[in-house]
Amino acid sequence: MRVVLADLKSDRGFVGKDTVVGGFGSRLDPFSRVTRLIAHFKRQFHDTPSVQLATSAAILARAGHDVRWTRGSLVEGDVALVLSSLVDYRNETAWADRMRERGVTIGFIGIAASKLPRLFEGHCDFIVNGEPETGVMQLARGAVPRGMTPSDPVADLDSLPFPRWDLVSGNQAHLGFKWSARPVGGGYPLLASRGCPEFCTYCPHRIVASYRTRSVGSIVDELERLCDRHPRPYVIFRDPLFSEQRDRCLHLCDAIRSRGLTLTFEAETRLDRLDTILLDRLHAAGLRAISFGVESADPATLRKSGRRPIAPAHQREIIVHCHRKGIVTAAFYVFGFLQDDWSSIAATIEYATELGSTFAQFKMLTPYPGTPMFRQLEPLLVETDWEKFDGYTPTFRHPNLSAGELRYLLGAAYTRFYVRPSYFATFLNIQNSVVRNLVRRMDRRIDDRHKRAQAPRFDYREVSHP
Per-residue pLDDT tens over the stretch 160-205:
999 999 999 754 444 455 556 788 777 999 999 999 999 999 999 9
- In this predicted model, which residue has the larger pLDDT, 44 or 127? 127
d(CA 23, CA 186): 17
pLDDT at 23 over 60: yes
Instruction: Give the per-residue pLDDT at 174.
Output: 46
Handedness of CA 48, 53, 58, 64 (dihedral sign): negative
Q: What is the pLDDT of residues 306-359, one digit of tens each?
A: 999 999 999 999 999 999 999 999 999 999 999 999 999 999 999 999 999 999
d(CA 392, CA 20): 14
Q: Report the candidate in 52, 63, 64, 71 with the shortest Cα–Cα distance to residue 4.
A: 71
Q: What is the pLDDT of residues 209-235, one digit of tens each?
A: 999 999 999 999 999 999 999 989 999
Every domain range in the chain assigned CATH 3.80.30.20 = 172-462
pTM higher than 0.85 for the full model?
Answer: yes
Task: Give the model's confidence band at 458: pLDDT under 50 very low, under 70 low, under 90 confident, else very high.
Answer: very low
Out of 252-266, 273-287, 429-443, least confident range = 429-443
CATH code for residues 2-157: 3.40.50.280
Instruction: Give the per-residue pLDDT at 88.
Output: 98
d(CA 162, CA 57): 10
pLDDT at 466 over 50: no
Contact assessment for residue 272 and residue 310, using Cβ atoms and an 8 Å cutoff: yes
Main-chain dihedrals φ then ψ at residue 261, nearest 5 degrees = -80, 135
Cβ density class 168-200: b for 16+ within 10 Å, e for less: beebbbbeeeeeebbbbbbbbbbbbbbbbebeb
Q: Could you tell me whether strands 126-129 and 147-150 are parallel, antiparallel, or unpaired per DSSP bridges? A: parallel
The residue count of the chain comes to 466
d(CA 424, CA 439): 9
- High-pLDDT (> 70) share of the chain, %: 89
Q: What is the pLDDT of residues 396-450, one digit of tens each?
A: 999 999 999 999 999 999 999 998 877 766 666 666 666 656 766 666 666 666 5
If you write DSSP's letter for every residue of 116-147 in order, what string do you get? Answer: -GGGTGGG-SEEEESSSHHHHHHHHTT----E
Domain 172-462 adopts which CATH fold? pyruvate-formate lyase- activating enzyme (3.80.30)
d(CA 448, CA 452): 6
Every domain range in the chain assigned CATH 3.40.50.280 = 2-157
Angle separating helix axes 342-355 and 403-418, nearest 10 degrees = 20
pLDDT at 19 over 60: yes
